[in-house]
Amino acid sequence: MKLLMHTCCAPCSVYCIDELRSEEIEPTVYWFNPNIHPYMEYKSRRDCLKEYTKSINVNAIFEEDYGLKEFCKNTINNLETRCQEYCYPVRLEQTAKFAKENGYDTITTTLLVSPYQKHDIIHELGDKIAKQYDLQFLYRDFRVGFREGQAKAREIGLYMQKYCGCIFSEESRYLNYNLAKPKLPEGFEFLPVNHSINIRKEKDNKEQYLELLLEADPSKEMINKYLADGELFVLTYKDEPVCIAVVMKIDNDIVELKNIITKEKHRGNGYAKKMIKYLVDNYKTRYKKMIVGTTENNIPFYVKQGFDKYEKTIKNFFIDNYDEELWDGDMQCVDMYYYSKDLNKAK
Ligand code: SF4
């Protein structure tokens, strides 16, 4: 079998490649994802896949096409059905076309690993499009390994995206809704909520967390300014501290979330979200507003946690207050953006 595997990103490819290799099938990875938005996100996903495929020595082909306009033109009148009517077919069609022109006899897609995608429709489309090109569609319900693949991806430090990919799925990061309900194959279920998570206020020896706090704010001087007077909270998972936050009183109505950080290997599990919820519950009876200052990259995260009121921008904050240039992924941190959450409205 000569298999061309449409691949949406590195984390989704992890389980698919491992699984195929365990069956002694060697896929060629095929990157074609024209509507990932914005371009920097497209680039991060593509570059991560380049690195990953190189590191595991799998053949990979990168079809460069950043097609935002084409995607918008074709989906704007029917946003609800954009996945099955445009996004999936365009990817599968291009994969089949390339496969046919380049001597592959079988195609598949990593979209089959995600419990958030419309699995049965992808299967159906895959069969149909492969047939049109006189190819086979290799179907596997990769969803059974979704969690395993994501955990491995996190462990080896792959870039983990926070939304499906297109501009409309990116919008849902800011709004508190998610239309896609995860669906696993029959007989499989998501693990129950873990109850070994605790949050406590640490009064003594707050400096023991300095090293972790420095990952979010790399200036000891800055941290020392708020650590002494601020309140420090520790979220533990199975007794291991995994997420730390520091909150400081600004005046009788306002508190500021000065620092929040999750240990790298535990990121992506929702610990920061849990911590923020705890802090809001803790402060809402005594204060009216919680503010947070953030880099541009992290605005969507805070807006989603309810910090949806823009307060102010401090121009050049990260240049004027830090000795070295700060980078968040591909983006240099320059201005500090302040957002707030109305604690009176917090449920
Ligand atoms: S939500 Fe995902 S699958 Fe649907 S159109 Fe957007 S990128 Fe494609």
Is any atom of ligand 1 closer than 6 Å to the C-beta of 95? no
> Is 191 within the bounds of a domain?
no
164 and 279 inside one domain? no
Whether the CB of 164 sits within 6 Å of ligand 1: yes
Residues 2-33 as b or e (16 or more Cβ within 10 Å = b) = ebbbbbbbbbbbbbbbebbeeeebebbbbbbb
24 and 146 belong to one structural domain = yes
| pLDDT at residue 180, as a whole number | 67
Domain ranges, residue 20: 3-174
C-alpha distances (whole Å) from 42 to each of 64, 184, 326 are: 10, 27, 22
Q: Measured from the CB, is residue 119 less than 6 Å from ligand 1?
A: no
Give me the half-sphere count of Cα atoms (radius 13 Å) on the Cβ side of residue 105.
4
328 belongs to a structural domain: yes
Q: Is the residue at 103 inside a domain?
A: yes
Domain count, the chain: 2
Structural domain includes residue 182: no
Whether the predicted pLDDT of 193 surpasses 90: no
Residue of the CA atom closest to atom 2 of ligand 1: 164
Give the number of the atom of ligand 1 that is nearest the alpha carbon of residue 36: 7
Q: Judge if 297 and 223 occupy the same domain.
A: yes
Going by CA atoms, what residue is nearest to atom 5 of ligand 1?
A: 83
Ligand 1 in reach of 34 Cβ (< 6 A):
no
Expressed in angstroms and rounded, the spacing between residue 32 Cα and the centre of ligand 1 is: 13
pLDDT tens-digit readout, 80-113: 899 999 999 999 999 999 999 999 999 999 999 9
What value does the mean pLDDT of the chain take?
91
- How far, in Å, CA of 203 to CA of 191, rounded? 34
Judgement on whether residues 15 and 134 belong to the same structural domain of the protein = yes
Residue 166 Cα to ligand 1 midpoint, Å, equals 5
Residue 16 is assigned to a structural domain of this protein: yes
Q: 46: Cβ below 6 Å to ligand 1?
A: no
Residue 273 belongs to a domain: yes
Ligand 1 centroid, distance to 330 Cα (angstroms): 23
Dump the DSSP string for 194-231. Answer: P--EEEEEE-S-GGGGHHHHHHHS--HHHHHHHHTTSE
Distance CA 269, CA 72 (A): 32
Task: Give CA–CA dist 199/237, Å, rounded.
Answer: 9
Indicate which CATH number applies to the domain containing 15: 3.40.50.620
Residues 94, 201 within the same domain: no
In a domain, 187, yes or no: no
Q: Which residue has the higher pLDDT, 6 or 199?
A: 6
Query: Is residue 270 a contact partner of residue 242, using CB atoms and an 8 Å limit?
Result: no
Contacts with 224 (C-beta within 8 Å, 6 or more apart), sequence order: none
Residue-level pLDDT at 198: 86
Does residue 186 belong to any structural domain of this protein?
no
263 lies in the same domain as 331: yes
Q: What confidence tens digit (pLDDT) does each residue in 202-242 have?
A: 888 899 999 999 999 988 888 998 998 999 999 998 788 99
Residue 111 Cβ contacting ligand 1 at under 6 Å: no
- The one-letter amino acid code at 95 reads T
Evaluate: CB of 87 within 6 angstroms of ligand 1.
yes
> Ligand 1 center to residue 4 CA distance, Å?
21
Same domain, 112 and 215: no
Q: Are residues 23 and 149 in the same domain?
A: yes
Instruction: Find the 59 Cα to ligand 1 centroid distance in Å.
Output: 26
* 41 lies in the same domain as 8: yes
Q: Which of the four pLDDT bands, split at 50, 70 and 90, describes residue 308?
A: very high
Q: Is 122 in the pocket of ligand 1 (CB under 6 A)?
A: no
Q: For residues 334 and 138, what is the distance between their CA atoms, to the nearest angstrom?
A: 47
Give per-residue pLDDT as tens, 62-77: 999 988 999 999 999 9
For residue 191, the model assigns a pLDDT of 55
Tell me, yes or no, whether 141 and 204 share the same domain. Answer: no
pLDDT band at 177 (very low <50, low <70, confident <90, very high): low
**Same domain membership, residue 321 and residue 286:** yes
> Which atom of ligand 1 has the smallest separation from the CA of 87?
8
**Distance of CA 167 from the midpoint of ligand 1 (Å):** 9
Residue 215 maps to which CATH number? 3.40.630.30
pLDDT at 268: 76
- 304 shares a domain with 225: yes
